[in-house]
């Protein structure tokens, strides 16, 4: 198996430190001068040439129904892990 090659993209994750679980939301790739920034979410690529365009693209992600489904899935997975952990704990009587 080949080691992962560096792509220059930074992954942005949502994280639950309580259960040590994270899920990738999107990837960013900055140029040497910061802008343009390439934003990758799934198969969708967009490029922001300035702060205003970057803010717009982040708003597009946040208002996307697939993003909300991903957040709900993340929440369910964290709750499932917490429930499993609670069942593993011995009863304190």
pLDDT bucket at 3, cuts 50 / 70 / 90: low
pLDDT at 93 over 60: no
**Average pLDDT of the residues in 31-41:** 92
pLDDT at 5 over 80: no
Q: How many CB atoms lie within 10 A of CB 22?
A: 13
pLDDT at 4 over 70: no
- pTM for the whole structure: 0.74
Taking the C-alpha atoms of residue 63 and residue 41, their distance in angstroms, rounded to an integer, is 13
């Amino acid at each position: 198996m080949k080691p992962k090659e560096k792509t220059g993209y930074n992954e942005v994750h949502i994280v639950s430190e309580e259960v040590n679980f994270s899920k990738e939301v999107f990837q960013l790739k900055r140029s040497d001068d910061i802008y343009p920034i390439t934003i990758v979410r799934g198969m969708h690529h967009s490029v922001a040439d300035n702060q205003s365009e970057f803010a717009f693209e982040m708003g597009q992600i946040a208002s996307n129904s697939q993003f909300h489904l991903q957040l709900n899935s993340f929440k369910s997975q964290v709750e499932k892990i917490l429930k499993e952990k609670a069942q593993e704990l011995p009863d304190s009587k």
